[in-house]
Amino acid sequence: MITPQPAGGEPAEEAEALIRDRLVLFRRRMRREAALDQITCRLAVRMNVRPSEAAAYLARLSHDSGVDLLDVARSVDERNPGAPEEVPVEVPSWVNDVMGALQVAAAYLTPVRDEAGRIVDFLVAATTEYAHDVTGRDPGLLQGRRMMELSPGVVRSGLLEAYLRVYETGTPFSRGPFEYVEIRDDRSWPVSVSVKAARAGDGVLATWWIHDEEERLTKGWERAQRLAGLAWAEWDLATGRVSWTRGMYEMFGREPSEGPIPLDRLPGMVAADDVSRVKEMTRTLLEYREAVEEELRIQHRHGIRHLRLLAEPVLDHDGLPVAIRVMAQDITADRRRERALAMAHEQASRARRRAEEEHRVAVTLQDTLAPMHSRAIDLHGLRVGFRYRPGEEVDSLGGDWFKARPLPDGRVLVAIGDAMGHGLTAASLMVQMRSGLAGLAYTGAEADQLATWLNELTYHANQGITATGTAIIGHYDPAARALTWVSAGHPAPVLVRDGKASFLEGDPGTMLGAFEAMQYTLTRTGLREGDVLLLYTDGIVERRGRDLGDGLNALLDAASHCVGGDLDDDITCLLERLGDEPAQDDICVLALRVS
């Protein structure tokens, strides 16, 4: 015997054994629930209480004794084998007349009350000759007995509560077909039923219909059609008679009371562009006598519906068409999803093209204002080197910038900054900050005033958009060999002197653009010949998975090790020592050697 192997090579026996084990557990649980329900209902009948009260009583006994609930229930059931004797109910003569006239399964139910006058159950006072229950018991075995004793399934299914509402409110009840599970001899009896009930005199008249296998298959097919969006139609060419399932009416937006559409009126139901398709479809069916599949757009009262039609001619023994049968499927939702998907793809493509263009512009802008590499230059007693490196992600191009230029008063403006964000937005803000500072610097104002003005410029730069950034702004005075500088929320500069690196101490300040009016504190740092200042952006000390403090310590260690030779080589060494792999954020370094 060859054992079939599922895809992936897993033996079929393992899957079969797993399914068998789960079925065993499921059936065991069903038997347990059935036994509990049946005992609970018997106990409720004996105690003349509601089933919920009997269940609570058993639960308390189980909790207090620590014994399994089913074992407790069986013990109580064995100790109380008898049921209270029911007093025969005299029903009015009209009830017997009605029972004799009905040709369906029906029962007349009278209320059973407890000592407080509450209805706790119903008594089967009279039945029709067709009133077999779902387990097949004859009507004679039902009459004169309590409902919970006969049919514990009425509790779990909610039918007992439904009958109670019918009796108390007088409102008729109808339900079904639905899956009803009866319990008898600790077994479950699942069946499909329909139930109706109405108040009649001092009782409830209940009728039920047990659906056979053929009915269940028919109902199942109808449900499958609804779930799959299917419908069926037939046009009799000889008599003109048209048969539609309910789904066909729904697809064409018609009420069954309006009747189906004759075949010759079908062109008037479709979209104008589909009329020619209907003509060709009809020609194929009637002249070529061939089956045809077509998609049509129907003018539904709620809008256009897309239907896929599979039509075939019914031929007589001479090969002449006598009818046309059509299977229709509503694919409107599919077409909507396809349109939504196409629209999403188009939007994604446009967004990608826009992002690529923004990135190209930002790269060009960034490279123009902060080139990735250039040789060191001399400016009024300073040797200046710089390096820019973008982040690892294509869309992570940031707003890092720097400025080093001589001023008319003999000083050198040195600055480095970081406009928050990435892409074109950050690059645009970077341009505003860098260009704004360049213009303001020619006023001759000190660095603290320049920072205040640049803060106001950044705050008002983009109305409706929060624009912020950080910066170090300073002036180097070659005559005094001193740097006067301010920090606007930016990492402190590093001073390398005699091979030892340390951070300059100064007021950290508040980032640019956070508040409309800010004042900054000026710091003066005296320098010596050979000193090197490192101004940098946070990308050099921030790495994914590394603490910021560790990054700052690594910067000091690298600066102490690398600085001392050619300035360009020093920067290269610094970046390599800090980690040559691409950084998460972009990096900008400005190195100043006092000459």
Q: Where are the alpha helices (DSSP H) in 48-169?
A: 51-65, 69-79, 93-101, 147-150, 153-157, 159-169
Which one of 113-122, 352-361, 463-472 scores highest in mean pLDDT?
Answer: 113-122
Which tokens is 587 given? Answer: 């990096």
Q: Which residues, including other chains, have CB under 8 Å from residue 191's CB and lie 6 or more apart?
A: 134, 179, 180, 181, 182, 210, 211
Single-letter amino acid code for the residue at 184: R
What does the pLDDT look like over 490-539, one tens digit per residue?
999 999 999 999 999 999 999 998 888 899 999 999 999 999 999 999 88
CATH class of domain segment(s) 220-330? alpha beta
517 in Cβ contact with 529 (< 8 Å): no
Single-letter amino acid code for the residue at 175: R
pLDDT for position 424 = 61
Beta bridge partners of 307: 296, 330
Which pTM was predicted?
0.45
Angle at 587 between CA 583 and CA 592, to 5 degrees: 140
Please report the beta strands in 96-255, taking only residues with DSSP state E, as ranges in sequence order. Answer: 105-113, 119-127, 173-184, 187-200, 203-210, 230-236, 242-244
Our separate counts of H helices and E strands in the chain read 15, 21
Mean pLDDT of 482-491: 95
What does the pLDDT look like over 159-185, one tens digit per residue?
999 999 999 999 999 998 888 888 887
Mean pLDDT of 298-317: 86
pLDDT for position 398 = 64
What does the pLDDT look like over 78-117, one tens digit per residue?
887 665 555 567 888 899 889 999 989 999 999 999 999 9
- Is 362-594 the same fold as 93-216? no
Average pLDDT score, the chain: 84
Q: Residue 32 — pLDDT band, cuts 50, 70, 90? A: confident
pLDDT for position 123 = 93
Q: Which residues, including other chains, have CB under 8 Å from residue 413's CB and lie 6 or more apart?
A: 403, 404, 405, 406, 407, 437, 438, 441, 473, 474, 475
What does the pLDDT look like over 534-570, one tens digit per residue?
999 988 888 776 788 888 999 999 999 999 889 999 9
For residues 545 and 215, which has the higher predicted lDDT (pLDDT)? 545
Architecture of domain 362-594: 4-Layer Sandwich (3.60)
User: Cβ of 359: how many Cβ atoms within 10 Å?
Assistant: 19
Residue 211 DSSP class: -
Beta bridge partners of 412: 406, 476
* Domain 93-216 bears CATH identifier 3.10.28.10: no
Residue 9: pLDDT above 90? no
- Residue spans of the domains in the chain: they are 15-79, 93-216, 220-330, 362-594
